[in-house]
Structures are given as structure tokens and as C-alpha cells.
Amino acid sequence: MSPAVTRFAPSPTGRLHVGNIRAALMNWMVARQTGGSFILRLDDTDAERSTDAFADGIRADMAWLGLEWDREERQSERFSRYEAARAAMAASGRLYPCYETPQELKTQRNLHRAKGLPPVYDRSALKLSDAERTGLESEGREPHWRFRLGEEVVAFDDLIRGPVSFEPGHVSDPVLVRAGGIPTYTLASVVDDMEMGVTLVVRGEDHVANTAVQIELMRALGGDVPGYANHPFLTSASGDGLSKRKGGAAIADLRDQGIEPLALTSYLARIGTSHPIEPLYALADMTAGFSFETISRNPPRYDPDEVFALNAKWLHGAPFVLVADQLPGLDAGFWEIVRGNVERATDALEWWRICREPIEPVISDPDFAIEAANLLPDDPWDATTWKTWTQAVKETTGRKGRELFMPLRQALTGLDHGPELAALLPIIGRERVLARLGGQSG
């Protein structure tokens, strides 16, 4: 594939969720895989609902995930370009003014259905005379503008769905400009894709029906038609759709809950594909294996439990450099000891606290604890001290297996699970071990 120019175009009307980021990741991977460029475009024409706070949140989520963009665009700064496109198509006759109210359009659709016809706009506005249009405007009606579709079949090769075609007459002439001069998504998106040189549009499958319209519009504006890949949406574990307005796995929430960015992208890069979901430690590893041919046509189900499980698995194999900024004061050696027992990176800080700060030891058998304390080797301690000590305790008390090791673990850490005590023992230190075996919060 030649260098692809792709775009991720969220509306800053809410927080990004995993479904949004899956689409962003696909666009980013294709751009990086082909040596192209990736555009972050904020579709903020909805002035009432778009906010700078949501726009900042989008940027923060993208940056946290490592999905750097090559350029940023905002639709709110491009209204003059949309008006120029409207004027050009109105002059060519492809765009025409309409004056029906929403109620009149609803009545028209109902009449069509009653006659067994598709509820397609009947182009009655094209039959209006200049005098009739002037009369309607004198009543205070502002026109909305529709794009006149052609009579030919529109076909394209979707990179995920395969060949797709749309027969004429089954879709209404779309409204491109609302009353008051506000461009719709269809017009703004096509003008942007054309003028920004987008060569591949990767987005959700709800846009499949729009694609034929956008291809016609792109041709009417004299632009080069990009490629298209319309992917199935993520659904929730129950099969419902995800939504940024319905609590659908917001990226910011996952970040606050301790999910690692590369663990999340590992999941989203592979869910709904023929590749196994597994921990990956660089975006380049995800990009190298990406192909539209591996994407299933079936909607993949997003399961947050799977994300948290993968996050733990990712951490168990993660090199210290990828988590170091979250673990001030710790080093790679300690991380290697405890990483197999964390579900979030910051759990390592708790293990450091257990080793170095006072805890409440669990003493199930005080006599055994005292006997074990009396057998503690002298300093200095190293990785062999645990084996030396427990062998002596075993020989003296006759205990072995769980009966030997569990009381020692509970006394030294206050817990019945955790990293290998052979590694923790020198970190805890002889003084603390003696205190804890004696039931003190050492």
C-alpha cells in the first residue's frame, strides 16, 4: 500500500471510549505501517455541545496511548470552506434549496409508506418557481440545502466488507446545509477529506450507507475518492453498543483504574481479529501485524474483565522502563521480584511498603515463630539466606511444605500470598524479621 493519509475525527461532545480508540488505533496503524500521515480532526461544528474541556480530554487520551498525530484540524475553523463548497454546488445545480418543515417531511414519508413506496424525499422543492421560493422566504422560512444524487449505481470495494454497491432511488437526497447555513457532517467531512488529502477513511460500519453519498459528493466537488474500510462496532459484554454518553468504558476511567496504555492498545489492536489477544510491549509490534484482512465482520464484544486480566498479564512481563515513572524510589531489581504479583503497576509500591514499613504480622503459632526466630542466620543476608534458614527450621521443628512456609509468610508479610520470600527476605532485613516473628509491627 502506498503511504496512506488517515484521520480520526471525534466530536468534542464527550469523553473517548474504547470503541472510539479502536477506530483511532486502526487509522494510526495504517498511517504508520505505510509511512503516511495521521490527522486528528475535531468535528466541532456542534457549537452548543462541543467544549474545549472535551477537546483537551481527547488530546490527553490520545497522548497517553502514544497515538501521536501529525497535524490537528478543527472543523469550527473551516466554515468558509464549507460555504464555498455549498455555493459552487448550488451554482452547478447539484445543490438545491428546500423549505419543508420537519412535520411536512414526516407527513410525506408516511404517505410514501402508505403507498408501499420507500420513504425517500420526492424532490418537490425542485418544482418550485422563483416566485414560490420568494413567497416561502417572505413567510420567514429559511431553506435547507439538499444534494441531488445521480441515477447511476455507486459501487466501491470496502477493505473490510468487500464489494458494496447502492442502487439509485433508495436514498433521499441528503441535506448538506441546514437552515441557518450550518453544514451537516456529510458536507463538512467530505470537504475536509478532499482538501486534507485523506486517502483512506477507516470508520464504523454505520457509515456504510453514507459512503455512496460521500463518493458522489466527492466527485461533484472534483476530488479524488479515497479508499474506505468500515469496521464492525465494539459492543458491550451484553451485546449492547458502547456510548460516551452511557458510561461506555471511558479511556480516562481506565487510566485512573490502573490500566496500562500498551495493555489497552494490545487488547484493542487484536479484538475482533484473527490474531490472538496477548501482551505487546510496543505500538510497532501491533502495527507490524495489522491487516484489514484479519478483521471479522462480526461485532466483537468488549469485556472489561478481559482488559484487567490482560493488564495483569502485561505487567507480569513488563520491563521496568515501561512502568518506572509510576514507581518513584523503586528500581528494576525490586520490580523484577514483585511484578508477577501485581495487577496494577502501583501495587509494587505496596509491596515495598510491606517490606520496609511497619505491618501487622499474622502469628498463628507463637511458639513456632519464636523457634524460627532463634534459628535466623546472622547478617549479611543474600538470596541464599531463605533456603538456609528454612532448612534449619525444617530440621528443628519437623515441619515441611505449607505447614512450614505459610506461617513464615504470614508473619513476615501479613499475607498468605506474594513474591518469593527468598527475594524479599534480604529487603525486609534481619531486624524487621525478628520483630515480626515476635508479633511486633516491625
Q: Residue 38, SS3?
A: strand
- Fold annotation for 1-92+153-165+184-318: Rossmann fold (3.40.50)
Q: What own/partner pairs with CB < 8 Å and gap ≥ 24 does 109-118 have?
A: 118/169, 118/170
Place of cell 497535524: 71
What pLDDT score does 117 carry? 84
Q: What is the Cα gyration radius of the chain?
A: 31
What pLDDT score does 247 carry? 47
Place of cell 412535520: 103
Neighbours of 363 (CB within 10 A): 18
Per-residue pLDDT of the chain (442 residues), as tens digits, is: 799 999 999 999 999 999 999 999 999 999 999 999 999 999 999 889 999 999 999 999 999 999 999 999 999 999 999 999 999 999 999 999 999 999 999 999 899 889 888 888 999 999 999 999 999 999 999 999 999 999 999 999 999 999 999 988 788 999 999 998 999 999 999 999 999 999 999 999 988 888 999 999 999 999 999 999 999 999 987 766 665 445 458 999 999 999 999 999 999 999 999 999 999 999 999 999 899 999 999 999 999 999 999 999 999 999 999 999 999 999 999 999 999 999 999 999 999 999 999 999 999 999 999 999 999 999 999 999 999 999 999 999 999 999 999 999 999 999 999 999 999 999 999 999 999 999 998 7
Given strand 175-177, what is the order of strands in its sheet?
A: 95-98, 144-147, 175-177
**Residue 316 corresponds to which cell in the numbers above?**
507480569
What pLDDT score does 243 carry? 57
- Fold annotation for 366-437: Arc Repressor Mutant, subunit A (1.10.10)
- Chain centre distance of CA 57: 13
Q: How many alpha carbons lie under 13 Å from residue 385 in its C-beta half-sphere? A: 19
Domain boundaries, the chain: 1-92+153-165+184-318, 319-356, 366-437
Q: From 8, 39, 18, 13, select the one nearest 252 (Cα to Cα).
A: 18
